C-alpha cells in the first residue's frame, strides 16, 4: 500500500506536524538501566571476555558470586520484579522534568541525576585574530561535559558570531596528524602563538593555519603561513554551555 504524504502549504501546518510528532515521541528511554549493547561493543573492541573483567577485578573468593550477580544484572527480564533503585528514581525524575521543559530547554536524561558528567578546565579564549589567549591559573574556569571528553580542555570564543561557544580539544605535546586538514588548535614553535583555525599540512613538513568559510569550505584568509608546529590538536566538540553544565 502506497503511503500518501500530505503536502505542507503553510508554516502553521508545519508547526502543527512538529507539535504532533513531539507529543508522540518519548524524549528519553522508558526503561533506564544497564546498557548491555555498550558492554558487548567494548568486549569485542578490546577482544576480551566478561570473565577476564571478573578475574582482574574481584578476588578468587568473590569470582563465583560476582559471576552469578553480573549474569542476573545483564540478562534480567524486563518484567522481572525489582526494588526501587537510584536508577528507577533517576528515570522517573527525568520523565517528570521533561514534561515541564519550556523555551527550548535541553532534554534531561536519567544519567543527569547519576552524576556522570565530568569536570574539565576552560584554559583560554579565542579572539577575533584567531589567536588563543591562555588564561592565568586564577582565571581558569570549569565546565561539565560528557565523560567521553573528560581528558579534554576547553577554550571559549570571544568572537561575535559565536561568542560564548566552548570548543574542546585534547592537550598534546606533539604534532597530531589526526588534526591535519581539520579545525583545531596549534602552537607556532618559533613565535609561541597558539592558533585556532583550519590546520593544513605542507609538503615540506610545515603548516599553514587558515580561516575557512563554514558555508562553502573556501579559504577566507591565511592566518599563519609555512610555520613549524610545536603541537597540534583537533577540535573534538563545540557547544554552547547552559547552567546545566556548570
For 89-100, the pLDDT digits (tens) are 888 888 888 888
- Judge contact between 155 and 187, C-beta under 8 A: no
More confident residue, 102 or 51: 51
Question: What pLDDT, on the 0 to 100 scale, is given for residue 194?
Answer: 95
pLDDT of residue 5 exceeding 60, the answer is no
Q: Check if the beta carbon of residue 223 is closer than 8 Å to that of residue 234.
A: no
**What is the pLDDT, as a whole number, of residue 246?**
44
Question: Residue 22 — very low, low, confident or very high, per pLDDT cuts 50/70/90?
Answer: low
Position with higher pLDDT, 16 vs 39: 39
Residue 166's DSSP bridge partners are 156, 239
Average of per-residue pLDDT values in the chain: 84
pLDDT at 4 over 60: no
Across the range 20-24, mean pLDDT stands at 52
Each residue's pLDDT tens digit, 152-161: 999 999 998 8
Map out the domains of the chain with their CATH numbers.
36-113 (no CATH), 118-239 (2.10.109)
Amino acid at each position: 500500500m502506497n503511503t500518501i504524504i500530505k503536502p505542507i502549504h503553510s508554516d502553521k501546518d508545519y508547526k502543527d506536524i512538529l507539535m504532533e510528532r513531539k507529543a508522540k515521541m518519548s524524549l528519553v528511554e522508558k526503561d533506564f538501566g544497564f546498557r548491555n549493547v555498550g558492554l558487548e561493543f567494548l568486549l569485542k573492541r578490546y577482544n576480551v571476555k566478561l570473565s577476564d573483567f571478573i578475574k582482574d577485578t574481584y578476588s578468587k573468593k568473590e569470582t563465583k558470586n560476582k559471576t552469578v550477580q553480573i549474569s542476573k544484572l545483564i540478562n534480567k527480564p524486563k518484567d522481572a520484579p525489582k526494588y526501587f533503585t537510584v536508577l528507577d528514581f533517576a528515570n522517573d525524575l527525568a520523565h517528570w522534568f521533561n514534561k515541564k521543559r519550556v523555551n527550548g530547554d535541553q532534554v534531561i536524561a536519567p544519567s543527569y541525576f547519576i552524576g556522570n558528567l565530568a569536570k574539565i578546565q576552560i584554559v583560554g579564549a579565542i579572539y577575533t585574530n584567531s589567536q588563543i589567549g591562555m588564561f592565568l591559573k586564577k582565571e581558569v574556569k570549569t565546565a561539565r561535559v560528557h565523560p567521553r571528553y573528560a581528558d579534554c580542555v576547553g577554550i571559549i570564543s570571544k568572537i561575535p558570531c559565536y561568542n560564548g561557544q566552548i570548543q574542546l580539544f585534547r592537550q598534546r605535546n606533539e604534532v597530531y596528524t589526526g588534526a591535519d586538514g581539520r579545525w583545531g588548535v596549534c602552537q607556532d614553535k618559533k613565535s609561541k602563538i597558539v592558533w585556532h583555525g583550519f590546520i593544513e599540512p605542507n609538503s615540506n613538513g610545515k603548516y599553514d593555519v587558515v580561516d575557512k568559510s563554514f558555508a562553502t569550505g573556501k579559504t577566507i584568509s591565511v592566518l599563519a603561513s609555512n610555520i613549524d608546529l610545536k603541537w597540534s590538536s583537533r577540535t573534538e566538540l563545540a557547544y554552547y554551555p547552559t547552567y546545566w553544565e556548570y
